[in-house]
Amino acid sequence: MDSKAALVAEHLSKKVTSPEGSLTILDDVSFAIGRAQSVAIVGPSGAGKSTLLALLAGLDTPSSGHVWLEGRELSALDEDGRAAVRAARVGFVFQSFHLVPSLTAIENVMLPMELDGAEDARERAAAILAEVGLAARKGHYPNQLSGGEKQRVAIARAFATNPAVLFADEPTGNLDAATGERIIELLFRLNSDSEATLVLVTHDEPLAGRCDRRLSLEAGRLVGQ
């Protein structure tokens, strides 16, 4: 295992049971991702991209193989252990934003910091919302924000705890082209400023092209990296 890598996947496989029998979603996938790298996971629908992301983030467990995140073997931890690593070291951005509808923008960004026990959560949340251009919208609820604004809140929340690794699943998938381009610029600026490792699943060719590396999946197998 490469101790200098942010993420290591070793012989990862994921199988599920379906009415037709056993279905292999990922098949013997291995790679290492260096710290502060940006990596796009690409491939056709059904190739196993989101499953791979979930395994790397410790949201799911492999049928076989191992995952190390910042030197911690996620696949050796129970759910509580994986949750603790995620809370301390990981940020997430999803296609559907996953904001809490009953919380304002600033409260959504404060949430992971408060769960981590930060006493200056409101000040830090206000600062990062200003950084993503939403200082004037911090008191608005998600249903009062546009799609691009919601995604900027989600990105602010993801970076609020200074994660070592940021996972993004189709972060521009629900946005128009112009808004998506602004979100791409924001993601890479924050990635560069924070030196977080960025791992994203995308069908967006300009977004994939901005990354340092691509991991190409086809029918659950890694066909290029």
Q: Comparing C-alpha atoms, which of 4, 143, 166, 8 is closest to residue 74?
A: 8
- Chain Cα centroid distance, residue 109: 16
User: Which two tokens mark 220?
Assistant: 């659950």
**Hey, CA dihedral for 206, 212, 214, 215, is it positive or negative?**
negative
Q: Any residues with CB less than 8 A from the CB of 164 and at least 6 apart, and which?
A: 6, 35, 69, 70, 89, 90, 196, 197
Full-model pTM: 0.87
Question: For residues 85 and 163, what is the distance between their CA atoms, to the nearest angstrom?
Answer: 10
Q: Which residue is associated with the tokens 């983030």?
A: 57
Residue 203: what pLDDT?
Answer: 87
Contact 99, 39 (CB under 8 A): no
pLDDT tens for the chain, residues 1 to 225: 556 799 999 999 999 988 888 889 999 999 999 999 999 999 998 899 999 999 999 989 999 999 999 989 998 899 999 988 888 889 888 878 889 999 999 999 999 888 877 888 999 999 989 988 899 999 999 999 999 999 889 989 988 888 899 999 988 888 888 888 888 888 888 888 888 899 999 988 888 999 999 999 999 999 988
Number of H helices, E strands in the chain: 7, 10
Phi, psi (deg, nearest 5) at residue 79: -60, -40
Question: For residues 37 and 192, what is the distance between their CA atoms, to the nearest angstrom?
Answer: 9
Residue 39: what pLDDT?
Answer: 95
Phi, psi (deg, nearest 5) at residue 126: -65, -40
Q: Any residues with CB less than 8 A from the CB of 7 and at least 6 apart, and which?
A: 32, 33, 56, 67, 68, 69, 165, 197, 199
Residue 216: what pLDDT?
Answer: 94
Residue 31: what pLDDT?
Answer: 95
Residue 1: what pLDDT?
Answer: 54
User: Which two tokens mark 193?
Assistant: 């400023």
Residue 3: what pLDDT?
Answer: 60
Burial class of residue 72, CB neighbours in 10 A (0-12, 13-18, 19+): middle
Other beta carbons within 10 angstroms of residue 124's beta carbon come to: 17
Domains of the chain: 36-60+78-224 (3.40.50.300)
* Three-class secondary structure of residue 96 per DSSP: coil
Contact 155, 189 (CB under 8 A): no
